[in-house]
Each structure stands twice: as structure tokens, then as C-alpha cells.
Amino acid sequence: MAFAPVTLISLLFHGLIAWRLLPDLPSGAAPLLGGVLLVSALLVPRGLMGRGAKRGPWSTAMVWIGLLCMGLFSSLLVLTLLRDVLLLGAWATQAVGWKLDMAVLRHTSAEAVPLLALLMTVLGFWNARRTAAVVRVDVPIANLPQALHGFTMVQISDIHVGPTIKTHYLQRIVDRVNSLGAHMVAITGDLVDGSVKELGQHIAPLAKLQSTHGTFFVTGNHEYYSGAHSWIDALRALGVQVLMNEHVVIHHGNDTQDPERAMVVVAGVADYSAHHFDESHRSDPHAAMAQAPEQALFKLLLAHQPRSAAVAEQAGFDLQLSGHTHGGQFWPWGYFVRFQQPFTAGLHKLGGLWVYTSRGTGYWGPPKRFGAPSEITLLRLMPA
């Protein structure tokens, strides 16, 4: 993506906001917002395209500010458009005889837009940078063996280690996961935004993840933007089990009378779009299930995108853990996720398959989460 075209687009959209708001702002506020919009227009492309981790302090600061501006700009643009809808509605009511003071409405709404956008950005920054809260979810499974009652899985997803998420942020996540004492840990993709050379040192805390049966990982689309093959090798070197259209069988509990009933099939598929980068990585839930023991009564699939669910249900899985959506990350984008994915967040049923979609444990791009808080998910199996 060339820098100049992105800058031009940024200037045009920021100019639209200025055109719609500045004439209706007080004389003291208009130049201030105009200056903020100009700086934002020039720095948003820097944040958007500044993925690399190797840079000097000044450049790093510019990327941080650019990404903060991106979050502010998004809210400004959406609120400006909503203001125009409000003004159009007010004009329509006047046309049918209702009396409204349009001048007051224009000035008041023009002042409200930047204040609301700033408030959303500040609260969103706090939500994004804090350690994700633990969300506890019980999943009812039919014919669940007694040995698997209470089996727990921690899911983390969409951390996006990169320009603004580094070692300390990830270490806080690892510490919280370890405090839960889960039976297994699942990382459902989009761990990184950058190459192993740039970011390899920052994922080192993953080697300290603790659970009874280990940590399992599947690729997300951002791994393929960042050199998926190298990341797969790097994660395996840390002791993380990467599942590429394959499964492993773990044995849980001490049922000496019928130990097979305590088996769990843990399968994983490459990202839904992986074949666009490497045909050999084409996502295939059926291949992930191939030759799984029939006597295993619980089969889990890790799949980055929720839209893997239709084929996963056909393949016979009981539960799919996914991410990708971020729950929209910040308002109002959660309303648009449904046009690309079957589920936005939370636990849903598709035929005989449960699908849990995480809102993500980190964030992508702007350090901003508003209306879609990050999460570390603790899922517990319960009899249906």
C-alpha cells in the first residue's frame, strides 16, 4: 500500500469532517479542531502503515500517535455522519410544519461530536490497554463422559503483538491465564502483526503458559500477512503445539474402568483464507478430524474464523473456538461483522455444534475498545 494515496484518502475524509463541523463551531473551537484534523490526517497513514517493530523512539512515537488519531478519526467520522442524518431529519420535520431552532441544533450538535468522539477514544484506550478480563462460559455437551465434567479450556485470541503490543502486555495475559489453572490453553490465531525477525522476542512469554495438557495454536489471517511458516516454527520452538488441519488426542482423568471415555480430540485448522497465501494450508475441518478415535465423545476444533463452523458441524465436532471478529472492537463496527461472519461474539449453536467466538484478547490498529471489551475466556464443559 503506497503512502501517498493513503495520505490523500486520509486528507479527503478528514476534510469532509472539517467541512461539516467547522462552520457551526464557535470561533475559538473551530481553529483548534481544524488543527487536530490536519495533524490527524497526516499521521493516520503513519500509524496504519507503521507495522514494523524496529524503529527509533521518534518513529515509534509517531506510530503510536497515528494509531490514536485513527481511533479518534473513526469516531469523528461516524458521529459526523450521524449528525447529518439528525439534521436531515430535523429539516424534514420543519418541512411538515414542526418548529425547530435549526441554528441551535447545528451549533449544539457540532460541539457534541468532537466531545463525544474524544470521550469514546479515551475510554476505548483504557479498555484496550488494560489486561483483558476473564469471561467464564459453561458449554453444555450431550453425552459428556463423567471424566470430562468440568474440563476447562482457556482461549486467548487476536492479541496482535506488533507496534503497540509488546512483551509486557503479553506477559500480563500469560500471568492471568496461568492463574486460572485450566486443563488446556487455546490460541485461536492473529497472534502477531509483523515478522519473526521484528517480533520474535516479544512472544517469549508464551513459553511460560501453564495448563494440564499444554497450549495449542492455529493460524489466523494476520499470520499469513506476517510470514506464517516462520511463525509456526517459532511457536513450536516455544513448546506451543501448532495444529495445521490435524488433531491430537489428550487423555484426561483417571477412569481405569473405561479410559477411552476420557479422551478429548483437539483439532485445529489453518485460517479460512490461508489457501490464498499457500494452497497446502487450505483450511479443512474434515482433514483435521480424519482418523480421530470414534470412542472419543468430545471433539474440539480451533478455527480462527467463525465461518469455518458450517463445515466443522458436518465433520462432527462438538465445539468450535474462534476469534477474528474482535466483537467489532469499537462502536459501531460490531454491527457490520455479521455481513462477513455468522457470529460476532459469544456462544451460539449451529446444528449439533457449539461455536464460541471470542472478542479477542488484544486489539488491532488503534488502541481502542469501546463497547466490545477484550477477554480471556475460561470455558467449562458441563453435561447437557
Q: How many CB atoms lie within 10 A of CB 269?
A: 32
**458441524: which residue's cell?**
313
pLDDT of residue 126: 97
Give me the architecture of the 133-383 domain, per CATH: 4-Layer Sandwich (3.60)
pLDDT of residue 245: 98
**Beta-sheet strands, E only, within the chain:** 133-141, 152-156, 184-187, 215-217, 241-242, 246-251, 263-268, 298-302, 319-322, 346-350, 353-357, 375-383
What is this structure's pTM? 0.94
pLDDT tens-digit profile, the chain (384 residues): 577 889 999 999 999 999 999 999 999 999 999 999 999 999 999 888 765 445 677 888 899 999 999 999 999 999 999 999 999 999 988 877 788 888 999 999 999 999 999 999 999 999 999 999 999 999 999 989 999 999 999 999 999 999 999 999 999 999 999 999 999 999 999 999 999 999 999 999 999 999 999 999 999 999 999 999 999 999 999 999 999 999 999 998 755 455 556 899 999 999 999 999 999 999 999 999 999 998 898 999 999 999 999 999 999 999 999 999 999 999 999 999 999 999 999 999 999 999 999 999 999 999 999 999 999 999 999 999
pLDDT of residue 53: 41
**Which part of the chain is CATH 3.60.21.10?**
133-383
pLDDT of residue 119: 98
At 384, the amino acid letter reads: A
pLDDT of residue 106: 95
Is the previous residue joined to 366 through a cis bond, with omega within 30 degrees of 0? no
DSSP characters over 346-372: EEEEETTEEEEE---SS-SSSS--BBS
